[in-house]
Amino acid sequence: MVDPALALIVAFIVAALLALIFWPRRGLYARWERVRQLTDRVRREDALKRLLLSEEEGQRCSADTVAGALEMGRNEAALLLQAMQADDLVQMVGGELKLTPAGRESAIHIVRAHRLWEHHLAQETGFDATEWHARAEDREHNLAPAELESLAARLGNPTHDPHGDPIPSASGLFGSQRGLPLTQLPADSSATIIHIEDEPEVVFAQLAAAGLTSGETIKVVAADSAEMTIWAGGEQHTLPIAAANNVTVRLLTASQVAAASENVRSLTTL
């Protein structure tokens, strides 16, 4: 015969466990579901961002593009894209993956949020440059449109992030950014840095350690197949070729170099 007291205790424990798991909004299942939905949303937004940037760079997009960017298997990426296609975020055009108008609008918001937040971190916080990208990766998914426009206004509606990447306008327009890799410059040439790639992190850390920033004027001292030596910020720096290749520059003409030198001389006499 079952002990009534024991049966009551067991029933109480089972009820408590069920409540812990299935309690509305606060139970483990509800929490797991919120995390799952958040993860799905973040993955969708990351995929939209990658597709937008690929389109802006003139690259063809496929499931492999998304799989590589999100570090997932191709089959998993295909399932994600199927769900996004069902929600009218992406479409296949001539065998190529394209954003729909709705997908592009969402992607613009994410890219704009990421780059504005990086600008905020650079201008208004003391975080190291090597932390900006990762922190912006987290924050970009949690900025509502109204918050984003308020942030942009406070920052003075910047057109480029601290790495030199164009910040799309609220209407989706990207500023121009044309240049060439630093590695293509011959010795004794001068240029202005217009973009510093922030991935992979280990390479960006080398550039940050050298103190290189977008908008800075540099001069190539020497270069070979392994490294480049440049003059920047009043100091000489030697960069591995892999790091130098992540710097985009705009070549300066002789007159522009002369004007820059004259500005420096004027400042030193103040």
Same domain, 119 and 184: no
Residue 173 in any domain: the answer is no
Q: Supply the pLDDT for residue 8.
A: 72
The candidate with the shortest Cα–Cα distance to 216, out of 196, 192, 195, is 192
Residue 139 in any domain: the answer is yes
Residue 261 in any domain: the answer is yes
Kindly compute the dihedral angle of the four CA atoms of residues 179, 185, 191, 192, in this order, to the nearest 10 degrees: 40
Would you say residue 269 has pLDDT above 60? no
Round to whole Å and give the CA distance between 82 and 172: 25
Round to whole Å and give the CA distance between 265 and 141: 46
**Highest mean pLDDT of the ranges 12-16, 93-97, 168-172, 246-250:** 246-250
Strand, helix or coil for residue 104: helix
- Specify the CATH number for the domain of residue 68: 1.10.10.10
Q: Residues 114-140: what's their mean pLDDT?
A: 94
Angle at 184 between CA 167 and CA 160, to 5 degrees: 10
Calculate helix-pair angle for 129-139, 101-124, nearest 10 degrees.
Answer: 140
Same domain, 95 and 108: no
Residue 123 in any domain: the answer is yes
Same domain, 203 and 264: yes
Three-state DSSP string of 96-109: EEEECHHHHHHHHH
- Look up the domain containing 133 and give its range: 103-154
Would you say residue 113 has pLDDT above 60? yes
Would you say residue 37 has pLDDT above 60? no
Q: Residues 48-64: what's their mean pLDDT?
A: 91
Same domain, 72 and 130: no
Would you say residue 91 has pLDDT above 90? yes
Phi, psi of 234 (to 5 degrees): 80, 10
Q: Residues 121-147: what's their mean pLDDT?
A: 94
Number of domains in the chain: 3
Same domain, 95 and 107: no
Q: Supply the pLDDT for residue 267.
A: 39
Residue 20 Cα to chain centre, angstroms: 39
Same domain, 85 and 39: yes
Would you say residue 147 has pLDDT above 70? yes
Average pLDDT for the chain: 85
Q: What's this model's pTM, rounded to 2 decimal places?
A: 0.72
